[in-house]
Amino acid sequence: MSDNLKYTQEHEWLKIEDGNVAVLGITPYAQDALGDLVFVELPELGRKLTKGEHFAVVESVKTAAEVYTPVAGEVVAINDNLSGDPELIKKSLEEGWIAKIKLSDPTELEGLMDRAAYDKFTASLD
């Protein structure tokens, strides 16, 4: 499989828009591990994030999972629809994204996995 997304070992996907904005969500692997989702804590618009900082929390029936950004930048959009319906996260990239981050340093993307590498990574976890 291949797509034009980037992936992290923390099971986030990133879609790059306009070269300098990362749309960020959590992968089906993470969704499956969490089970039914009941709450999403979103970051504030305009918040400046450092690389590796947790900026959102996805809560399932059993646990609260922190979502980390693999890139530094500013939160320029949040998916407010998730407040009313956390399960949207599982629907599609278009409906399930959590936040958009304007990149401070686009070269930080270079260390992230592509789909093939991520599939290999998740296969190694099972």
Sites of contact with other proteins (CB under 8 A): 35-36, 38-39, 41, 57, 59, 61-62, 64, 83
Rounded least distance, CB 78 to other proteins, Å? 14
Structure token digits, residue 2: 């291949």
Measure CA of the first residue to CA of the last residue in the chain; give whole Å.
Answer: 18
Q: Which residue, 20 or 60, has its beta carbon nearer to other proteins? A: 60
Structure token digits, residue 4: 């034009």
Distance between alpha carbon 15 and the CA centroid of its chain, in Å?
A: 9
Q: Which residue, 85 or 94, has its beta carbon nearer to other proteins? A: 85
Query: Residue 57 in contact with residue 66, Cβ under 8 Å?
Result: yes
Query: Residue 14 in contact with residue 7, Cβ under 8 Å?
Result: yes
Q: Which residue, 48 or 54, has its beta carbon nearer to other proteins? A: 54
Rounded least distance, CB 41 to other proteins, Å? 7
Rounded least distance, CB 25 to other proteins, Å? 19
Which positions ≥6 away from 14 have C-beta within 8 Å?
5, 6, 7, 8, 22, 23, 24, 70, 71, 109, 112
Q: Which residue, 6 or 43, has its beta carbon nearer to other proteins? A: 43
Rounded least distance, CB 80 to other proteins, Å? 12
